[in-house]
């Protein structure tokens, strides 16, 4: 019975999308099975249900697409690269995916004002490659920068290794051009009021077309080091004590011993101590500043009895970055399903949080790895599992619930940067009061009265703002 109703819904939706495609002459809308399959996922590996994929080519297209879909009440799912880790871009109920692939131009660059205007589908790395020869960089650098898009980064308020010194995406968004749920184009400079709410709204409040972004002159010097803290636990507390002693790195990353072993095997990086935990630290600034800070780091490391590998050439720096960037791909080989949580904790509680995670994984007999942007309080907790093993998945669920509960007890929050999407929306009641959730729901209703923008995400799951 359920199946029949389901297939009636999909047939009706397929006809609606066909009619929409005819009305949208000039905007490609693809409904072949291979499109519906490949645009039905994000990095969580969860499959949604996709009725078709539209490819707007400019702001006018995006406006028409949203307006016509809104009139027909066809749900829309904005999608950059689909690299999200919380199900944000996964289409539901045979809705229409709006791919931003064709919106990938750099529109304007102004060196004097230190800003660049880009369309939302531009890949972060392509922006960095555009800026570098001009002597600038765009600080938000998610570890997914080689493939994630600026629109996805803005919608998730993405962070990254450099967030410790430079902050996250919101700090760099100077104006936004976007389309309301009714299909009206808005340009707001600076992004105040409803426009400001779009940063981090995960595609639930509006469709971002373009952004003017602040950029920063490239530092004259970098000093990059990998620290081996072999006393078992203590790497995260040690990092805290370095900061308290005046160290001000741009990057401060933590990699636990188990994760580092995978990375070592993956990129043939030898000489790793078996039970050591690692800190990846980069300092940047003028040559004098960088040298002074590096001297401080080396003396702090020596006093703490920590082994330090400092890059002395650009090739060695590249190798250390390769080690850091290999964390995710090296883990991907450890299991069929990667459950990736990105809780965030006050710096002073990170060590306790990491210990809790390892003890809990041991108790529930799960294969767990911890790393993250330690300077920013972001702790990535990865459980390598297989969603086909039902009993193990029940233990994973229990692990995630207990992880969230402990995180909140320690004064932290459920997501540092991966967003709420589908995976975390059932837990929003852990961090927001019913009054706050009702307020969030009210904002959603005002900005998207028909509920066509990314329905089923953030606001509308059980326990969340439903
Ligand atoms: C290996 C790996 C490493 C990662 N490392 C980091 C990291 O260091 N820091 C970090 O923050 N994240 C990280 N992520 C998560 C992910 O890459 C980020 O959330 C990224 O910002 C998503 O960009 P995307 O283009 O893939 O967006 P998608 O996954 O396609 O979409 C993400 C959300 O944004 C919405 N959206 C996309 N485009 C628009 C638009 N134009 N208008 C409105 N809404 C839109 C979607 O509807 C969805 O809700 C990582 C992911 C992977 C796979």
Q: Note the pLDDT of residue 393.
A: 96
Cα–ligand 1 centroid distance for 44 (angstroms): 11
CA geometry: angle 208, 419, 443, nearest 5 deg: 60
Percent of the chain scoring above 70 in pLDDT: 96
pLDDT interval class at 333 (50, 70, 90): confident
| 54 phi, psi to nearest 5 deg | -110, 145
Ligand 1 atom nearest to CA at 103: 41
Beta bridge partners of 117: 108, 212
Percent of the chain scoring above 90 in pLDDT: 87
Q: Note the pLDDT of residue 463.
A: 43
Q: Is the CB of 200 under 6 A from ligand 1?
A: no
Cα–ligand 1 centroid distance for 83 (angstroms): 5
d(CA 402, CA 301): 34
pLDDT interval class at 95 (50, 70, 90): very high
Q: Is the CB of 94 under 6 A from ligand 1?
A: no
Ligand 1 atom nearest to CA at 454: 47
Q: Is the CB of 151 under 6 A from ligand 1?
A: yes
Ligand 1 atom nearest to CA at 373: 8
Q: Is the CB of 417 under 6 A from ligand 1?
A: yes
Name the residue with the closest Cα to ligand 1, atom 19.
84
pLDDT interval class at 10 (50, 70, 90): confident
DSSP string, 293-357: HHHHHHHHHHHHT-EEEE--SHHHHHHHHHHHHTHHHHHHTT-SEEEEEEEE--GGGHHHHHHHH
pLDDT digits (tens, 9 = 90+) for 334-378: 878 999 999 999 989 999 999 999 999 999 999 999 999 998 899
**Overall pTM > 0.85:** yes
* Model confidence at 460: pLDDT above 90: no
Cβ partners under 8 Å of residue 156, min gap 6: 84, 88, 169, 200, 202, 417, 418, 419
Ligand 1 atom nearest to CA at 78: 47
Ligand 1 atom nearest to CA at 329: 1
Cβ partners under 8 Å of residue 143, min gap 6: 160, 161, 324, 325, 327, 328
Cβ partners under 8 Å of residue 451, min gap 6: 75, 444, 460
Ligand 1 atom nearest to CA at 120: 41
Q: Is the CB of 281 under 6 A from ligand 1?
A: no
Alpha-carbon dihedral sign for residues 41, 38, 146, 112? negative
* Model confidence at 465: pLDDT above 80: no
Q: Is the CB of 119 under 6 A from ligand 1?
A: no
Of 78, 326, 330, 374, best ligand 1 pocket probe by most atoms within 8 Å of the beta carbon: 78
Q: Are 195 and 188 in contact (CB under 8 A)?
A: yes
Q: Is the CB of 203 under 6 A from ligand 1?
A: yes
Q: Is the CB of 425 under 6 A from ligand 1?
A: no
Cα–ligand 1 centroid distance for 404 (angstroms): 21
> What mean pLDDT is reported for the chain?
93
pLDDT digits (tens, 9 = 90+) for 251-287: 999 999 999 999 999 887 887 877 899 999 999 999 9
Q: Note the pLDDT of residue 4.
A: 40
Q: Note the pLDDT of residue 9.
A: 58
Of 75, 79, 169, 344, best ligand 1 pocket probe by most atoms within 8 Å of the beta carbon: 79
Q: Is the CB of 191 under 6 A from ligand 1?
A: no
> Per-residue pLDDT averaged across 224-249, rounded?
90
Q: Is the CB of 208 under 6 A from ligand 1?
A: yes
> Per-residue pLDDT averaged across 74-100, rounded?
97
* Model confidence at 464: pLDDT above 80: no
Q: Note the pLDDT of residue 459.
A: 75
Q: Note the pLDDT of residue 232.
A: 61
Taking Cα atoms as reference points, which of 211, 111, 133 lies closest to residue 169?
Answer: 211
Q: Note the pLDDT of residue 334.
A: 82
d(CA 349, CA 372): 14
Of the two residues 272 and 47, the one the predictor is more confident about is 47
Of the two residues 7 and 314, the one the predictor is more confident about is 314
> Per-residue pLDDT averaged across 42-68, rounded?
96
Cα–ligand 1 centroid distance for 86 (angstroms): 9
């Amino acid at each position: 019975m359920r199946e029949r109703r389901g297939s009636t819904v999909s047939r009706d939706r397929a006809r609606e999308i066909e009619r929409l495609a005819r009305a949208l002459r000039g905007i490609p809308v693809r409904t072949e099975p291979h499109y519906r399959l490949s645009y039905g996922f994000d990095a969580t590996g969860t499959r949604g249900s996709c009725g078709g994929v539209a490819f707007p080519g400019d702001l006018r297209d995006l406006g028409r697409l949203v307006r016509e879909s809104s009139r027909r009440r066809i749900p829309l799912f904005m999608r950059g690269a689909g690299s999200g880790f919380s199900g944000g871009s996964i289409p539901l109920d045979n809705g229409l995916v709006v791919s931003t692939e064709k919106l990938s131009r750099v529109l304007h660059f102004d060196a004097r004002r230190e800003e660049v205007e880009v369309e939302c589908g531009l890949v972060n790395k392509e922006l960095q490659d555009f800026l570098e020869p001009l002597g600038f960089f765009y600080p938000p650098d998610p570890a997914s920068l080689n493939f994630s898009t600026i629109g996805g980064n803005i919608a998730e308020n993405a962070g990254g290794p450099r967030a410790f010194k430079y902050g996250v995406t919101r700090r760099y968004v100077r104006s936004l051009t976007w389309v309301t749920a009714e299909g009206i184009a808005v340009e707001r400079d600076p992004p105040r009021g409803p426009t400001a709410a779009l940063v981090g709204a995960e595609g639930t409040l509006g469709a971002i077309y373009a952004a003017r972004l602040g950029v920063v002159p490239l530092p004259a010097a970098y000093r990059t080091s990998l620290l081996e803290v072999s006393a078992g636990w203590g790497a995260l507390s040690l990092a805290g004590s370095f900061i308290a002693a005046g160290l001000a790195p741009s990057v401060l990353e933590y990699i636990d011993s188990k994760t580092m072993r995978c990375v070592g095997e993956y990129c043939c990086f030898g000489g790793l101590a078996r039970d050591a935990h690692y800190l990846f630290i980069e300092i940047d600034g003028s040559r004098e500043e960088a040298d002074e800070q590096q001297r401080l780091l080396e003396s702090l490391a020596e006093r703490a009895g920590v082994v330090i590998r400092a890059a002395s050439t650009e090739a060695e720096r590249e190798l250390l970055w390769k080690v850091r960037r290999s964390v995710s791909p090296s883990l991907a080989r450890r299991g069929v399903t990667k459950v990736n949580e990105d809780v965030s904790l006050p710096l002073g509680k990170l060590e306790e949080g990491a210990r809790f995670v390892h003890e809990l994984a041991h108790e529930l007999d799960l294969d767990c790895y911890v790393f993250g942007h330690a300077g920013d309080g972001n702790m990535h907790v990865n459980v390598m599992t297989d969603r086909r093993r039902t009993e193990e998945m029940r233990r994973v669920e229990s692990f995630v619930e207990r992880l969230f509960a402990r995180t909140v007890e320690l004064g932290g929050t459920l997501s540092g940067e991966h967003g709420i999407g589908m995976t975390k929306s059932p837990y929003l009641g852990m961090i927001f009061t019913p009054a706050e959730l009702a307020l969030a729901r009210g904002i959603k209703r005002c900005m998207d009265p028909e509920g066509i923008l990314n329905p089923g995400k953030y606001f509308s799951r059980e326990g969340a703002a439903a």
